[in-house]
């Protein structure tokens, strides 16, 4: 790929000026149009050191309204970033609809380095490529324009540019150890880049290799490609050509098989619960020592006892190591980003517990039933969610998902009880009654969800919730079992974590 690039092409000044005068106006207008149309644009700049990423990007930005873009400089992950799944720090920075994000270096930077230094291969490499493909495809499916530029120069040209930088002390820090190492092994890096570009040139996010010996030429090439990509997306939106997807009928009906008569005598509950809570506390510390994050999702009918169940689960845990994260309808920035964005942002650090009180499953429950998501959006969501959880599992997360189930009669009884008890009245709203009217539609949606998103690494557990004692004990036991299955007890090996 890189070898075929003609690095000698040039553009003279008058041709450059003519091209850019037109491109500046065109890009400024396209930025406004993309903003109006709510199109997010993500541009990646990769390439050799001193290939001119900063200059090209700087010139490109001149055309744009600075209130509509952000520039992200990607360096080595911070400690906090290392304690999260690899894509976390990039999900955190995706542009909102209508805005542009420019990445100076990106999720490719570390990979290329690892490839060139032969630090990654086999399954790990396959997984890394797959993570990137999932990331970019999920964003593109949401309507994001993604462009990836690779700025290419020759080894000789790079040497010349290094020399120039090193002449001025103010700039010389830019040629450091890493840069010199890259230069020394230029050929290995070229080979690695060829492989990486080939594996990650997707239809929705192709690589564009830019010959960057001539600054003017590279600027025009990048500006043109950006303009064309936005124009293409604008045209596509005008035609509404998003394909609908195939939606196969579900295989199982898990809710039909639930025995709702199960119950636990209060005395037994009072005896067992404190022991289970103490055990979970111990396991919380164990997970911290091994730096394993634990993700617990609570979904369920209104008045199914989620709140009380969560409290019992947490009772003895160290509050410094868990967080309860409630989710209602998306607000503000949450609405202008990919629906998974706010959940990525909320992920716990390695070694911590996060309890999601409602979750990403809103996409296939309330958003489906109320029509907030279009059919192709919620139908696509099952596999997006599976991919999301797969990535959490790969990062070492223990994932437990609860569907808190009550019968329709029991729900009615609880609604009425809340309405008639002064200190519980605040718990019941008109919306609860409206949701109840859609019981059958939700039943459908829940069944589809349980059927399609119960995976080996993130299975659903249905909690029979008519009897609260039973439900609480089952929930905490389920979490304990999941951790025990995945996190080994402490052997004689030395401890993994240091106190933060």
Question: Are residues 263 and 470 in contact, defined by beta-carbon separation less than 8 angstroms?
Answer: yes
Q: Look at strands 353-357 and 322-326 and give their pairing.
A: parallel
314 binds a second copy (CB under 8 A): yes
Q: How far apart are CA 141 and CA 242, in angstroms?
A: 9
Residue 431 interacts with a second copy (CB under 8 A): yes or no? no
**Looking at 22, 119, 124, 176, which residue binds a second copy (CB under 8 A)?**
176
Q: Is there binding between residue 282 and a second copy (CB under 8 A)? A: yes
Task: Check residue 101 for interaction with a second copy (CB under 8 A).
Answer: no
Contacting a second copy (CB under 8 A), which of 2, 258, 289, 346? 289
Q: Cβ 34 to a second copy, closest distance in Å?
A: 14
Instruction: Tell me if 307 contacts a second copy by CB under 8 A.
Output: yes
Contacts of 119 (CB under 8 A, 6+ apart): 113
Q: What per-residue string of b and e applies to 330-356 under the rule 16 or more CB within 10 Å gives b? A: beeebeebbbbbbbbeebbbbbbbbbb
What secondary structure letter does DSSP report for 40? -
Q: Distance between CA 220 and CA 18 in Å, rounded?
A: 10
In whole angstroms, give the CA distance from residue 122 to residue 322.
35
Binding a second copy by CB under 8 A: which of 3, 118, 170, 243? 170
Q: Applying CB under 8 A, does 66 fall inside the site for a second copy?
A: yes
Among the residue ranges 57-65, 217-225, 340-348, 449-457, the one whose residues contact a second copy (CB under 8 A): 57-65
8 A C-beta contact, residue 87 and residue 107: yes
As beta bridge partners, residue 299 has 403
381: exposed, middle or buried (Cβ count in 10 Å: 0-12, 13-18, 19+): buried
The residue range among 199-207, 237-245, 250-258, 491-499 that interacts with a second copy, by the rule CB under 8 A, is 491-499
The answer to whether residue 54 forms part of the interface with a second copy (CB under 8 A) is yes
Residue 64 gets which letter from DSSP?
S
Query: In the bound complex, what is the minimum distance in angstroms from residue 500's beta carbon to a second copy?
Result: 4
Query: Which listed residue (9, 178, 262, 329) binds a second copy by CB under 8 A?
Result: 178
In the bound state with a second copy, the residue whose beta carbon lies nearer, of 150 and 378, is: 150
CA distance 34 to 39: 5
Per CB under 8 A, residues contacting a second copy are 25, 29, 32, 54, 57-58, 61-62, 65-67, 70-71, 73, 75-76, 78-80, 102, 104, 168-174, 176, 178, 282, 285-286, 288-289, 307, 310-311, 314-324, 326, 331-333, 355, 357, 423, 426, 490, 495, 497-500
């Amino acid at each position: 790929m890189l070898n075929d690039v003609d690095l000698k092409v040039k553009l003279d000044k008058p041709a450059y000026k003519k091209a850019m005068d037109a491109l500046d106006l065109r890009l400024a207008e396209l930025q406004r149009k993309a903003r109006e149309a709510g199109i997010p644009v993500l541009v990646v700049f990769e390439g050799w050191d001193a290939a001119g990423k900063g200059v090209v990007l700087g010139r490109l930005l001149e055309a744009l309204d600075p209130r509509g873009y952000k520039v992200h400089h990607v360096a080595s992950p911070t400690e906090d970033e290392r304690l999260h799944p690899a894509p976390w720090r990039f999900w955190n920075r995706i542009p909102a609809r209508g805005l542009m994000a420019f990445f100076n270096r990106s999720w490719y930077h570390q990979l290329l380095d690892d490839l060139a230094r032969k630090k990654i291969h086999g399954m790990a490499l396959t997984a890394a490529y797959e993570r990137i493909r999932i990331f970019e495809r999920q964003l593109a499916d949401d309507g994001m324009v993604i462009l990836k530029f690779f700025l290419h120069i020759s080894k000789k040209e790079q040497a010349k540019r290094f020399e120039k930088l090193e002449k001025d002390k103010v700039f010389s820090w830019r040629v450091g150890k890493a840069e010199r190492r890259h230069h020394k092994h230029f050929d290995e890096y070229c080979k690695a880049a060829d492989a990486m570009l080939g594996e990650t040139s997707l239809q929705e996010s192709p690589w564009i290799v830019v010959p960057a010996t001539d600054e003017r030429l590279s600027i025009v090439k990048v500006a043109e490609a950006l303009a064309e990509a936005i124009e293409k997306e604008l045209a596509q939106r005008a035609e509404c050509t998003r394909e609908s997807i195939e939606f196969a009928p579900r295989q199982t009906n898990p809710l039909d098989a639930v025995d709702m008569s199960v119950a636990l005598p209060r005395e037994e509950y009072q005896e067992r619960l404190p022991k289970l809570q103490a055990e979970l506390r111990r396991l919380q510390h164990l997970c911290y020592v091994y730096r394993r994050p634990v993700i617990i999702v609570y979904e369920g009918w209104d008045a199914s006892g989620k709140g009380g169940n969560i409290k019992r689960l947490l009772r003895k845990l160290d509050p410094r190591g868990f967080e309860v994260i409630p989710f209602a309808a998306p607000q503000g920035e949450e609405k202008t980003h990919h629906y998974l964005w706010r959940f990525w942002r909320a992920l716990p650090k390695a070694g911590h517990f996060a309890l999601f009180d409602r979750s990403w499953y809103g996409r296939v429950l309330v958003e489906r039933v109320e029509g907030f998501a279009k059919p192709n959006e919620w139908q696509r969501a099952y596999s997006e969610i599976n991919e999301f959880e797969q990535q959490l599992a790969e990062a070492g997360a223990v994932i437990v998902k609860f569907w808190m189930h009550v019968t329709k009669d029991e729900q009615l009884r609880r609604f009425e009880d809340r309405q008639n008890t002064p200190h519980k009245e605040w718990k019941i709203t008109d919306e609860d009654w409206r949701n109840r009217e859609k019981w059958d539609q939700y039943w459908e949606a829940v069944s589809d969800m349980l059927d399609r998103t119960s995976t080996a690494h993130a299975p659903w557990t249905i909690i029979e919730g008519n009897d609260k004692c039973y439900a609480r004990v089952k929930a905490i036991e389920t979490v304990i079992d999941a951790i025990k299955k995945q996190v080994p007890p402490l052997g004689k090996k030395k401890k993994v974590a240091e106190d933060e």
